[in-house]
Amino acid sequence: MLRPSKKLLFAIEAVVDIAYHGGTEPVRSADISRRQGIPRRYLEQVLQHLVHHNILAGQRGPRGGYKLARERRRISLGEIARVVQQLEAAHDPASELDGSEIGVKVVRPLWLELQHDLMAKLDDLTIEQLCEAARGKQITSEAAQVSDFII
C-alpha cells in the first residue's frame, strides 16, 4: 500500500492550518503544533524548508510566525510533496536501472507511471480547495474568531 510519510502529512497539515487559521497575523508554530498535534521538533524543520522553497514566509520576533508566501490558490499539494521529498532525500528504487528483466521492463515503469499520475493529481489540488473542504466540514477557523478593532 502506498503511504504518505509523516513529514508530508505534517507539511500539508501545517500549510493548510496557516491558510485556514492565519488571518492577517502570522501563525506561531506553537499554535500549529497545538491544533494539529504535530511535534514541534518535526514541525520547525518542515516549516523552515517550506520557507526556503517560497511556500511560506517566516516573520521573526515576538509577534512572528508563518504566513503563506503566495495566495493559497497558487500553492498545490504537489509542490509541497516535492519540497518534502527533497527534505527526506529518500532513494526511489523504482528509478533504478538494474534488476530483473520483469522488474526493469514491467514493474518499475508501471510504478513510475503511477507516481507520475499521483503527482499530477496532487498538482491539481490547491491549499484553497483544502480550506474550502475544512469550511464544508464546519471546522472553526481561529482567524474568524479574532475580532479586529481600532481605538
Mean pLDDT, the chain, as a whole number? 89
Q: Is residue 116 part of a domain?
A: no
Spatial distance between the Cα atoms of 40 and 61, rounded to a whole number of angstroms: 18
Q: Is residue 103 part of a domain?
A: no
- Which of 74-78, 84-88, 141-145 is least confident? 141-145
How many structural domains does the chain have? 1
Q: Is residue 113 part of a domain?
A: no
Tell me: pLDDT of 136 over 80: yes
Spatial distance between the Cα atoms of 66 and 47, rounded to a whole number of angstroms: 8
As separate numbers, helices (DSSP H) first and strands (DSSP E) second, the chain gives 8, 2
Q: Which amino acid is residue 149, in one-letter code?
A: F
Residue of 88, 82, 91 whose CA lies nearest to 42: 88
Q: Is residue 98 part of a domain?
A: no
Q: Is residue 120 part of a domain?
A: no
Q: Is residue 140 part of a domain?
A: yes
Tell me: pLDDT of 147 over 50: no
CATH no. for residue 49? 1.10.10.10
User: pLDDT, tens digit, for every residue of 85-133?
Assistant: 988 876 677 666 778 999 899 999 999 999 999 999 999 999 999 999 9
Tell me: pLDDT of 139 over 50: yes
- pLDDT on residue 149: 41
Strands (E), the chain: 56-59, 65-68
Q: Is residue 117 part of a domain?
A: no
Structure-model confidence comparison of residues 143 and 118, the more confident one? 118
Tell me which residue range forms the domain holding 77: 6-91+126-145
Residue 16 vs residues 31, 89, 93, 106: alpha-carbon distances, Å: 13, 23, 31, 37
